[in-house]
Amino acid sequence: MMDIPIPSWAKWRIGQFVRKRKGSKWRGRVVGFYSTEFNPRGYAIESYYEEDSVQVYPEAALEDWKP
């Protein structure tokens, strides 16, 4: 895996497992970060169950998860 810089605001690091807190389920590991004006703290999460599937979520939508 590439050495991806970790933003100073990041609650989770690359490789840590998280899940979506509400609504549809999404569980997986952090593979990247993003920041926009609307969502300044966001994460790219690779699915634990669907190979090569990635979704992006703001930090507030996520919580720790242990597979």
Domain boundaries, the chain: 17-64
Whole-number Å distance between alpha carbons of 40 and 59: 9
Whole-number Å distance between alpha carbons of 64 and 45: 12
What DSSP state is assigned to residue 7? Answer: P
Whole-prediction pTM value? Answer: 0.89
pLDDT digits (tens, 9 = 90+) for 6-16: 899 999 999 99
Residuewise pLDDT in 10s, the chain (67 residues): 567 788 999 999 999 999 999 999 999 999 999 999 999 999 999 999 999 999 999 999 999 999 9
What is the average pLDDT score of the chain? 94
Grouping H, G, I as helix, E, B as strand and the rest as coil, residue 61 is helix
Q: Which fold has domain 17-64?
A: SH3 type barrels. (2.30.30)
Q: What residues are paired with 45 via a beta bridge? A: 30, 55
